[in-house]
Amino acid sequence: MADLKEKVLEALRNCYDPEIPINIVDLGLIYDLKVEDGNVKIKMILTAPACPMRAYLVQQVKEAVLSVEGVKNVDVTLVNERWTPDRMSPEVRSGLGL
């Protein structure tokens, strides 16, 4: 199960926020990720609550996750929580000088 979760995270690293050239995992947009019997449940936040690209991002995530061998279904829920740069991975924050 942990192996499939890692493969899902790797697939999500190929999804980028259209306004910030950083993948959504390192950007900190993946709020929660659960994998059980090939079913993937993702909770994610957006960098801006009224992001006009929300449908695009959700579709991008679904397509990336469904491409992972062993994934049967993916459910993406947008969490209504404020994103801050603190959610970025330490490597990205450091690379951006934050």
Q: Is the pLDDT of residue 98 over 70?
A: no
Length of the chain, please?
A: 98
Q: Contact, 17 vs 52, CB < 8 A? A: no
CATH code of domain 2-81: 3.30.300.130
pLDDT tens figures, 58-88: 999 999 999 999 999 999 999 988 888 888 8
pLDDT tens figures, 51-60: 888 999 999 9
Residue 86 per-residue DSSP state: G
- CA distance linking residue 46 with residue 93, whole number of Å: 17
